[in-house]
A and B are shown apart, each in its own frame.
Chain A
Amino acid sequence: MAVPISQMWTVASYILKKRLSGQKKYPLVLMLEPLFRCNLACAGCGKVQYPPHILKKQLSPEECFHAVEECGVPMVSLPGGEPLLHPQIVEIVNGLVERKKYIYLCTNALELKKRLHEFTPSKYLTFSVHLDGQREHHDMSVCREGGYDIAVEGIKEAVKRGFRVTTNATFFDGTDPNSVRSFFDEVMSMGVEGIVLSPGYSYEKAPDQQHFLGRAKTRRLFRAILSNRKKSWKFNMSPLFLEFLMGKRNYECTAWGSPAYNIFGWQKPCYLLQDGYTDTFQELLDTTNWDEYGTASGNPKCANCMVSCGYEPTAVNAGFGSLSGFFAMAKAAIFSSYKDQGALDLLNNHTTFTAERSHLVKIEGVSLTPQVAQLEETRA
């Protein structure tokens, strides 16, 4: 695991305190969206589809600090939109660092290199750079040629200047697990602290509505990617959550574990679904019918979800919430090679992905690199 001990200790003692005080529903990470506007227009994103007057709005630093204090989390993720487009993002970050919150600033890194001098390296600040795979995959994913190269320049400069840096990838249907493994080699050689990954979620508002991974395929894909792991790969995630993605564990969603706050208020029930908003965090906890969400609820909107904001809090709670959970987590962190011949077969015996199923080779006449054009399905 790539997470520093001080951060693990902060999270572990926070969970312990909550448990000892008998609190059942408590948040771990605040998804604080200071604005929705972005400098990319990715086809898989459902976050930026708003009228211009909404895209021009943003949270003030005071609103951000108030939200963080209101819910009391130890960690804050700053997604968006693109947080570096917020004119007071430095003030927001500095204020959160002063409050000793572990911050993940999620950026597409188009602006990162030229903005780095405004930030100060700190154990509390991590740049979580959105990178969806190797160059061609990332550029197609963000619908922008050259996006990968700009992001990598930003990563390298941030690493050079002593910042904590992780990469953050979302994988959709058609992902080539071999390419993802090569991608892991590439990003680790850039000197990043660790890798963050997640299966794509079926955003209702995403322009691309046909390429979301179902649970069976997600587990096969992540089994192929994450088994037979190289020692050099470090993940900035709970090892138990990675086992969940590989199909080795079954967890239920802890939607209140990563609450989301933005210009509309506290989002019900989670960062991914919008079933309304509340003005306070307590109201979010009290008025959301949590039984209506998560895979077991039968809610079709949650049916295929295995996304980190719902399931990683479950894994973290499991790891730090009991002795057996702690041993399972320690075991997963130490014995992390996951030797698996079946997973090797998935990587080796892949069949060429059919044109109808592959969004990257769907249009006749589009000739991408052989690596991109040869997409495979990971059938066990």
Chain B
Amino acid sequence: MSQPVHAATPVNVDELEVVDGRAYENLEGWIPELANEADLQNALEKAFDYRGDISLTFKNGETVEAYIFNRQSGKSLADSYVQYFASNALEKRKASYAEIARIEFTGKDRAAGKHWEAWLKKYAEKKAAGETNIALHPEALD
């Protein structure tokens, strides 16, 4: 297994006017079917990209709710690993792909749904209602 290699960009980048970002995949609640190694690798790649917690169930029956921040593919499942912060622990942890039995995208996707358009709409509504000091605020952490 190796990390994905990128295809050559089919456009002349120096002529690009406006660049769209990536389309979101709605993964919240997804429970990937892990029928083979490729399914597992694909699901963990998406989990690495996901800005929410994932529930990982290991083959020994243990389940953790975790934010996956790294993945490294090796030659086999045994020497490929993910690194994560469990939601109830301070230190980084590591698990081999071979230990993982089930993956669930249980956490809220923190990168989804807060569009510029939504902010402008909210802004317009509040302005029309005579509000001042209109702002978006970060979500509470507790």
Residues on A lying within 8 angstroms of B by beta carbon are 37-44, 46, 48-57, 143-147, 173, 202-217, 263-265, 275-277, 289, 292, 295, 297-301, 303-304, 357, 359-360, 362-363, 365-366
Query: Which residues of the other chain, B, contact A301 by a CB distance below 8 angstroms?
Result: 6
Q: How far is the CA of A359 from the CA of B83 in the complex (A)?
A: 38
Task: Given A55-B141, A264-B69, A292-B5, verify A207-B85 contact (CB < 8 Å).
Answer: no
| B62 part of interface (Cβ distance < 8 Å) | no
Contact call B85/A54, Cβ cutoff below 8 A: yes
Query: Which residues of the other chain, A, contact B72 by a CB distance below 8 angstroms?
Result: 276
Residues on B lying within 8 angstroms of A by beta carbon are 3, 5-9, 11, 13-24, 48-49, 51-53, 67, 69-72, 83, 85, 87-88, 90, 92, 107-108, 110-111, 113-117, 119-121, 123-124, 127-128, 132-139, 141-142
Contact call B120/A212, Cβ cutoff below 8 A: no
Q: How far is the CA of A289 from the CA of B72 in the complex (A)?
A: 13
Contact call B110/A208, Cβ cutoff below 8 A: no
Query: Which residues of the other chain, A, contact B9 by a CB distance below 8 angstroms?
Result: 298-300, 303
Partner among A214, A265, A363 whose Cβ is within 8 Å of the Cβ of B18: A214
Query: Which residues of the other chain, B, contact A203 by a CB distance below 8 angstroms?
Result: 21
Q: How far is the CA of A203 from the CA of B116 in the complex (A)?
A: 14
Contact call B22/A363, Cβ cutoff below 8 A: no
Contact call A53/B6, Cβ cutoff below 8 A: no
Of all A-B residue pairs in the complex, the 6 with the closest CB atoms, nearest first, are A214-B16, A209-B21, A298-B8, A208-B116, A144-B135, A207-B114
Query: Which residues of the other chain, B, contact A50 by a CB distance below 8 angstroms?
Result: 51, 67, 110
Q: Is the interface of B mostly helix, strand, loop or mixed?
A: loop
Contact call A202/B135, Cβ cutoff below 8 A: no
Contact call B21/A206, Cβ cutoff below 8 A: yes
Contact call B114/A51, Cβ cutoff below 8 A: no
Contact call B133/A204, Cβ cutoff below 8 A: no
Task: Given A40-B138, A145-B133, verify A217-B18 contact (CB < 8 Å).
Answer: yes
Query: Which residues of the other chain, B, contact A297 by a CB distance below 8 angstroms?
Result: 6
Contact call B67/A49, Cβ cutoff below 8 A: no
Known: A144-B135, A209-B22, A299-B9. 14 other contacts (CB 8 A): A37-B141, A39-B138, A51-B53, A51-B87, A51-B107, A202-B20, A204-B111, A210-B21, A212-B21, A215-B13, A304-B13, A362-B116, A363-B120, A366-B123
Q: How far is the CA of A276 from the CA of B20 in the complex (A)?
A: 23
Q: How far is the CA of A178 from the CA of B127 in the complex (A)?
A: 26
Total inter-chain residue pairs, C-beta < 8 Å = 173
Contact call B107/A362, Cβ cutoff below 8 A: no
Q: Is the interface of A mostly helix, strand, loop or mixed?
A: loop
Task: Please name 16 pairs of A and B residues whose Cβ atoms are closer than 8 Å in the assembled complex, sorted by A.
Answer: A38-B138, A41-B138, A144-B134, A145-B134, A202-B19, A205-B111, A206-B111, A211-B18, A212-B18, A213-B18, A214-B19, A276-B70, A292-B5, A298-B6, A300-B6, A303-B9
Query: Which residues of the other chain, B, contact A204 by a CB distance below 8 angstroms?
Result: 21-22, 49, 111
Contact call A366/B127, Cβ cutoff below 8 A: yes
Output the least CB separation between A306 and chain B (Å).
10
Contact call B127/A277, Cβ cutoff below 8 A: no
Contact call A48/B17, Cβ cutoff below 8 A: no
Output the least CB separation between A33 and chain B (Å).
13
Q: How far is the CA of A67 from the CA of B119 in the complex (A)?
A: 37
Q: How far is the CA of A32 from the CA of B107 in the complex (A)?
A: 27
Task: Given A204-B22, A300-B9, verify A211-B116 contact (CB < 8 Å).
Answer: yes
Query: Which residues of the other chain, B, contact A44 by a CB distance below 8 angstroms?
Result: 116
Q: How far is the CA of A362 from the CA of B6 in the complex (A)?
A: 34
